[in-house]
Amino acid sequence: MEQSSLLLFLRRMFRRKLVLVAFVVLCAIMLMALLAPWIAPHEPTTIRVVRRLKPPSELNWLGTDEFGRDILSRIVYGARASLGIGLAVVLVSMTVGTLFGLMAGYFRSLDGIIMRVVDALMALPDILLAIFLVAVLGASAFNVVLALSIVYTPRVIRVVRASTLVIRELPFVEAARALGVSTRRILSVHILLNVASPVLVQATFIFAYAVLAEAGLSFLGAGVPPELPTWGTMIASGQQYADQAFWVVLFPGLAIVLAALSLQVVGDGLRDMLDPKLRKAL
């Protein structure tokens, strides 16, 4: 039974070919990040000044950067940092956001305070809030994760709160309460399981935003240290050579677009799949 419902889920999800393609691309990028040391054709940090700014060739498929480092290898390794940071942001903002969202939606007394703070955080553009937080906390991979988590948690809170408000009034919650189920259990089992699908959809979107935002922060010099190869730092350090060697900027950017786009398409597929209202319309 379990297996057939999973199969049905996957069949529905991948009915749109584009979603399937995006999912495959996403898996490929993730695998690339995981297996970087085995896939990368060169060492990402080996400097070979004689081969600096060489165009794509048989030796360096995507060309070399200003230090003669192989761009393809750096993109492969960069996937680790870029996706790792994105994933960490997703995990932190999901956990914290779900917790506060449940509280805001379930306890009327907390709703006002939590939502006003959410409003205040959302009154600042993502990248502006992020750059401020990184400036205050100091530029490091850990602080970039922290800053971006603070930026994206309010979105999760909003989604979870909205769903909780609806679910709280449904008969099965009332029944659970009448049976003497503790508030904690109602929240952590009965309601949490029912807000899981909108949260999951939001997770894929936040993953995409976080990958884009990390690149933006690195580009501004307010992200991870420039020695760490991420797609953002590659573009940042390559931009002054764009006149002579466009590939230095082009390919890391394409990696960002590909990763963010496939996350977004998979998220869209999930949403269409999980939203009963949309499912009918399709």
What is the contact surface with another protein in residues (CB under 8 A)? 18, 116-117, 119-121, 123-129, 131-138, 208, 212, 215-216, 219-222, 232, 235, 239, 242-243, 246, 249-250, 253, 256-257, 260-261, 264-265, 268
Closest separation between CB of residue 77 and another protein, Å?
19
Which long-range CB contacts under 8 A does 6-10 form with residues at least 24 apart? 9/273
Query: Do residues 200 and 263 make contact, with C-beta atoms less than 8 angstroms apart?
Result: no
Closest separation between CB of residue 242 and another protein, Å?
6
Query: Do residues 140 and 133 make contact, with C-beta atoms less than 8 angstroms apart?
Result: no
Q: Tokens 């940042």 label which residue? A: 236
Beta bridge partners of 64: 70
Q: Which is nearer to another protein, 11 or 17 (CB)?
A: 17
Q: What distance in Å separates the CA atoms of residue 71 and residue 73, rounded to the nearest whole number?
A: 5
Q: Which is nearer to another protein, 8 or 242 (CB)?
A: 242
Q: Which is nearer to another protein, 44 or 232 (CB)?
A: 232
End-to-end CA distance of the chain: 26
Closest separation between CB of residue 135 and another protein, Å?
4
- Using N-to-C axis directions, what is the helix angle for 247-274 and 192-220, rounded to 10°? 170
Q: What distance in Å separates the CA atoms of residue 72 and residue 44, rounded to the nearest whole number?
A: 8
Length of the chain: 282
Q: Which is nearer to another protein, 150 or 187 (CB)?
A: 150
Q: What distance in Å separates the CA atoms of residue 142 and residue 223, rounded to the nearest whole number?
A: 10
Q: Which is nearer to another protein, 37 or 221 (CB)?
A: 221
Q: Which is nearer to another protein, 9 or 246 (CB)?
A: 246
Q: Which is nearer to another protein, 138 or 180 (CB)?
A: 138
Give the pair of three-digit tokens for residue 101: 């969202």
Closest separation between CB of residue 50 and another protein, Å?
26
Q: Tokens 């998220």 label which residue? A: 267
Closest separation between CB of residue 48 and another protein, Å?
25
Closest separation between CB of residue 100 and another protein, Å?
15
Query: Do residues 62 and 44 make contact, with C-beta atoms less than 8 angstroms apart?
Result: no
Closest separation between CB of residue 33 and another protein, Å?
18
